[in-house]
A and B are shown apart, each in its own frame.
Chain A
Amino acid sequence: MKSLAELQAIREKTLGKISMRKDADESTRIVIGMATCGIAAGARPVMLKFMDEIQTRGLQNVTVSQTGCIGMCRLEPMLDVLVPGKEKVTYVKVKPEMVSRIVAEHIVNGRPVQEYTIGAAE
């Protein structure tokens, strides 16, 4: 360790990866439906794409987790984005190529991508 800057760099680099273990209430959660229907419809590549985006952008306090079937199997892959203090936004029929827009517009800039949401689909 030559300097404080190096200590800071290690801190920043590692924190994003383990911050899920702290302050669960303050983090943005991406919850992906991963029951049989979700997986069959292609939820796994979507989830991996989210992880990829989060890592590339070095986002902190964003977690990706899974949930079971919520009953609207025809709209899978489905996922919820929960930003603390905001209403839950549900995206439907998500494909990997839609992920970077959701991350850029919704998670980073706080503007949900209306055309991908359940409201637009119904």
Chain B
Amino acid sequence: MDLYRAHVLVCGGTGCTSSGSNELIKRFEEQIAKHGLDKEVKVVRTGCFGLCEAGPVVIVYPEGTFYSRIKVEDVDTIVAEHLLKGRIAQHLVYKEKEEHEDAHLSLDDIDFYRDQRRVALRNCGVIDPENIDEYIAFDGYQALAKVLTEMSPEDVINEMIKSGLRGRGGGGFPTGTKWKFAAASKADQKYIICNADEGDPGAFMDRSILEGDPHSVIEAMAIGGYAIGASEGYVYVRAEYPIAVKRLQLAIDQAREYGLLGKNIFGTGFDFDMYIRLGAGAFVCGEETALMRSIEGKRGEPTPKPPFPAVRGLFDKPSNINNVETYANIPQIILKGADWFTSIGTEKSPGTKVFALGGKINNTGLVEVPMGTPLRDIIYKIGGGIPGGKAFKAVQTGGPSGGCIPADLLDTPIEYDTLTAIGSMMGSGGMIVMDEDNCMVDIARFFLDFTVDESCGKCTPCRIGTKRMLEILERITEGKGEEGDIEKLEALATNIKSTALCGLGQTAPNPVLSTLKYFRSEYEAHIKEKRCPAHHCQKLLNYEITDKCRGCTACARVCPVNAITGNVKEMHTIDTTKCIKCGSCMEKCRFGAIVKN
């Protein structure tokens, strides 16, 4: 590798790849060669930068200029202006708000990044994930070298316990303690497993880490292997993450070639190697016991605990299982020390957490903030608020296992225990923002629909109980809710929570319970008044034409079922018995004469 004066970093995460970043890379290479700059400028495909909303994203160093929503034809301008003549192509630079005229923003000047603290994502969007040398340049494999040459397995475990790192997959169990249990089990073979079966709708931090910094996971698993006495590791990742799988496999191959995996690593006598196992995308396989059954080649169904994996796990051997984001933190903790880690975040939840922002929010993307950051900061400062000036209603954290948090709890600091206390959970870190147009009953129905689909069917409460809850919710959203439905939902939820076999069933009622807790009046409006306060549930809507109508006949012509009648230049009316509530008339009306209620 030679010295280049400028690096063009093009995001190669899944989001930007879908919006065409591969074509951009090709075009950059062509144009750079055309101008004879190929010895001076290097094009690098990186992992996710996080601001997926503005993708495809291109960053040009050394200036750190942040170009957003770049099209293939823009590439010619960037090469001819910025790379050849040193003039930043201002009109292509990311603007936070339209009024920002002086758009010369480098990454650190952007609101989206300013309040972030990137630990797990430190290399994402900075290094070329397919080049092990770049990972090594930014302190990669130094932590593994340190534990193998300077620390005993007990030292490693003690450092992890001291750091207070908790499982980032959602459970929040202290990682060091987990390692201690696995280390204490005696066996001829132990396994270390990485749970990359990211299934929560809207969450994609694990995918981004595997895509943007796969070596950090490999290094951490080797460290974990050393700590608990495992010589083999498995990464269980879903087949629907093709880019992540490809880069991880490439990274494993490179690490083997460098002798960072294999026999006698660093000449210390420590042997460790690891393998990828592909999952078919069943949500339940993210549950650790089901995941291990799936690696074994059996049906992906959970088994009762105890025995815990640390005692009898994969292939009946003691095993330790952590999530991708948890692993991505570990090399940093080893290198910088537990004290550094505990200086970030809160006392009970040290460190940072990555959140995937989605739903009704301006800056859709991936953010990493210190634990204890108030929800309000994440949604308004980093996330840029709600589009279209709409009012914030709630945020769903923790996916189908979590709950909704209403506006009056926006100042809650985000950490494991505070979220649990308000009836939600950290989960893997999906954050789905909802505005005034979202119906909370329908949201609960959506998540329950997901868990009903994904229930493996092994235990009765989850297989049948969640189905019954879903049926009640469907009735309510269709205007067929009955008195007593809420009480039935609550009774079912409580029973399922306390009797389901695994985490999937035990947490499945959470979205219903939390929306009942904070938005009970919406349920009551659906049931008693047959009304959807957010005007979302189709069956409960009524379209009406008001006296603003000028009789232009546009609505009558667009109505697919001829439910609208009226003479030219006279007020029209809708026959509610014929109306299918498609909303076409409302979209078509130029006078705002049609309302739904």
Contacts and interface: CB of A to CB of B under 8 A. Distances in A.
Interface string A1-30: 111100100110111111111101001010
Nearest to B131: A14
A68 B5 CA distance: 16
A1 B5 contact: no
A16 B5 CA distance: 11
In order of increasing CB-CB distance, the 10 nearest A-B pairs are A66-B86, A63-B62, A14-B137, A1-B259, A55-B3, A64-B5, A15-B137, A20-B62, A14-B133, A34-B86
Interface of A: 1-4, 7, 10-11, 13-22, 24, 27, 29, 32-36, 39, 47-48, 51, 54-55, 63-68
B91 interface: no
B9 A21 contact: yes
B483 interface: no
B3 A17 contact: yes
Contacts, number: 99
Contacts of B9: 21
Contacts of B6: 65
Contact of A51 (B5, B108, B138): B5
Contacts of B265: 1
A22 B126 contact: yes
A4 B3 contact: no
Contacts of B137: 10-11, 13-15, 17-19
B136 A14 contact: yes
A83 to B, nearest CB: 15
A4 B258 CA distance: 12
B564 to A, nearest CB: 60
Nearest to B37: A44
B558 to A, nearest CB: 53
Interface in B1-45: 1-7, 9, 40
Interface stretch (B141-149, B322-330, B523-531, B574-582): B141-149
B338 to A, nearest CB: 23
Contacts of A29: 62
Contacts of A20: 7, 61-62
Given A1-B259, A7-B142, A11-B137, A27 B62 contact: yes
A52 to B, nearest CB: 8
Contact of B62 (A2, A4, A65): A65
B260 interface: yes
Given A48-B40, A67-B86, A2 B7 contact: no
